[in-house]
Structure 1
């Protein structure tokens, strides 16, 4: 597969990714190379990744605990301290081998340690391959509030190696699939139709490539999310609130990112139908597609009230307004739409019916 070039880096695929990584390492003369993993990628991905690196380099492996619950400043502090203890300097490199938690947190740690060291992302989940590791967003959660602290900073390169997907359970694959479906909804109706007709996620390389291409095209137009890049947040305003609520709830099981965003896309689809003209049949298509791929979640009145209160923390907000990305039609988004409280509540009623 041909590499996808962004503003200051490229996304490389499969065997070519390792070839270009080795070329980069041979030329860059890094003082030390730190590889950030969590316990899952340490066990399943680190050995095959290291076996593809040729050359005599000074490697150190740093392991963090897996899961969104550990994507916080406390974990960053631990990694910063390890980097300092192991004599990392400004000519060091961090390679983040993992899902979105590892690439988001590792990118943020690298971007801030000694005011910034180089980093490379090696996403090992479908979600990270098509979303988290591409576009330069780095950061961590503040308590249960998603991605409240971070910076936009580009990696040296992103390496997408689809063989890592063999290590994932079906639920994790489905989580990433939600973001791919989103790419169809915001940019490409034909892609949406292709994805919803899939029988399985086995032959997925070309689909990953298409999703990365869509995201890259959007990011190139608006690297710092001043306008058009906001379309990538379709489903995320309510979806992130749902995800945060479940992350912090003492008795509910956690929802994966894609599971929460799938709910958000149904809710914001309903709002789109009411406010921006999304046709009724396309709304029904969106709801049916997500409910056929993701288990339905039951919300009571107390849950809904608490979720809606979390909207004030959404990153797209400005001047006290909660700004939504909605759809005029599948493939045609609209940004910065304000939504009345009653309509937000109605959207949950639509989801539940």
Structure 2
């Protein structure tokens, strides 16, 4: 896989404009959702060709589907986009995942640039070339690895987020600390969400993810570390998305998943009770508890049977062998996952 160009800060959008102005670029489309069209598109627009096409999708995880992809592909086809055209994905994780997927499949590969606008997308979803859509209730069940041509991160977009969205993205920052940077976790426990300069947080978090992805672009080994909190988190998110009025944000589910998987790490003899207490105390100081009832734990855990890291009937989980040291391909059972959810519920 080729590397993406990465721009962070005030140079990001001018760099995008220069990229789009390169000779040979035929058309430019911007994919945005109903939120980013209103809040972020006006800031991006001056950096776009005057004749660009705006494609608007509905906001929310429930719209991260093949049906939405079909509408995007139909618009690109109607306006005669070719493989020398560029799709600019302006939004959070739903837009960057779905837009990258659409670009990868359209005519076997449309040029793609990601402009992530949420903290979650800037530190995680927009980095590393994972694309995908949800299918039959399973999170990111369909997807491909396809690095975008460039990732342009403008931290000023974070000012458009409400506190809940910003907090959800922070879960992925904490995940990076727990799997790879114990010193940052210590500092993070002191500052919490009281961050003066989000650009510095984004840069440091992106550096962790890039270093891991560079070792293993196709997630056959070390890149699995980035799934800490996600085996339980994806199952919980998928289950609640299917319950009317109970959907949670991805980062909220991952925060719950990190508590569960840290507890599993203790049960496997990898993590100390003291470290678990530090992780729990910090996460619950930032994130509200995700609500479900004990009777639902078995059904939630069952969804992990479809986790993408699994091998045959074995559910492979990423756990911690200490704060700042993740370990991947740790086999767990559905019963153990259900018990971890019951543990979380009792806290």
Residue 153 of structure 1 is matched in structure 2 by: 146
Alpha-carbon spacing, 1:298–1:15, altered in 2? closer, same or farther (3 Å): closer
Residue 172 of structure 1 is matched in structure 2 by: 165
Shift in Å, 1:52: 3.4
Q: Give the paired residue count.
A: 345
Residue 85 of structure 1 is matched in structure 2 by: 78
Answer yes or no: is the 8 Å Cα contact 2:179–2:226 preserved in 1: yes
Runs of at least 4 residues of structure 1 off by over 6 A? none
What CA distance in whole angstroms lies between the structure 1 residues aligned with 2:19 and 2:205?
A: 25
Residue number among 14, 28, 34 corresponding to 1:33 in the alignment: 28
SS at match of 1:135: coil
- Range with bigger deviation, 83-92 or 23-32: 23-32
Residue 326 of structure 2 is matched in structure 1 by: 333
Please list every run of 5 or more consecutive structure 1 residues that lacks an aligned counterpart in the other structure. Answer: 1-5
Residue number among 129, 135, 140 corresponding to 2:133 in the alignment: 140
Answer yes or no: is the 8 Å Cα contact 2:176–2:226 preserved in 1: yes
- Range with bigger deviation, 123-132 or 56-65: 56-65
Residue 182 of structure 2 is matched in structure 1 by: 189
Residue number among 308, 312, 320 corresponding to 1:319 in the alignment: 312
Residue number among 15, 20, 44 corresponding to 2:39 in the alignment: 44
Residue 207 of structure 1 is matched in structure 2 by: 201
- Normalising by structure 2, we get a TM-score of 0.96
Cα RMSD (Å) of the superposition?
A: 1.4
What CA distance in whole angstroms lies between the structure 2 residues aligned with 1:59 and 1:189?
A: 45
Alpha-carbon spacing, 1:98–1:268, altered in 2? closer, same or farther (3 Å): same
Answer yes or no: is the 8 Å Cα contact 1:276–1:327 preserved in 2: no
Shift in Å, 1:204: 1.2
What CA distance in whole angstroms lies between the structure 1 residues aligned with 2:329 and 2:110?
A: 34
What CA distance in whole angstroms lies between the structure 2 residues aligned with 1:276 and 1:332?
A: 14
What CA distance in whole angstroms lies between the structure 2 residues aligned with 1:14 and 1:254?
A: 32
Render the CA deviation track for 1:303-337: whole Å, top value 9, x for unaligned: 10110110111000112210010111011111111
Report 1:56-71 matches (<5 A).
Answer: 56-71=49-64
Answer yes or no: is the 8 Å Cα contact 2:304–2:334 preserved in 1: no
Answer yes or no: is the 8 Å Cα contact 1:33–1:57 preserved in 2: no
SS at match of 1:94: strand
Render the CA deviation track for 1:26-77: whole Å, top value 9, x for unaligned: 2242111000000110011111111234xx5530000000000000000000
Render the CA deviation track for 1:92-148: whole Å, top value 9, x for unaligned: 110000011111000000110011110000000000000000000011000321000
- Normalising by structure 1, we get a TM-score of 0.94
Residue 344 of structure 1 is matched in structure 2 by: 337
What CA distance in whole angstroms lies between the structure 1 residues aligned with 2:80 and 2:291?
A: 50
Answer yes or no: is the 8 Å Cα contact 2:315–2:333 preserved in 1: no
Shift in Å, 1:203: 1.8
Residue 8 of structure 1 is matched in structure 2 by: 3
Residue 19 of structure 2 is matched in structure 1 by: 24
Alpha-carbon spacing, 1:157–1:276, altered in 2? closer, same or farther (3 Å): farther
What CA distance in whole angstroms lies between the structure 2 residues aligned with 1:32 and 1:176?
A: 32
- Range with bigger deviation, 278-287 or 288-297: 288-297
Answer yes or no: is the 8 Å Cα contact 1:276–1:326 preserved in 2: no
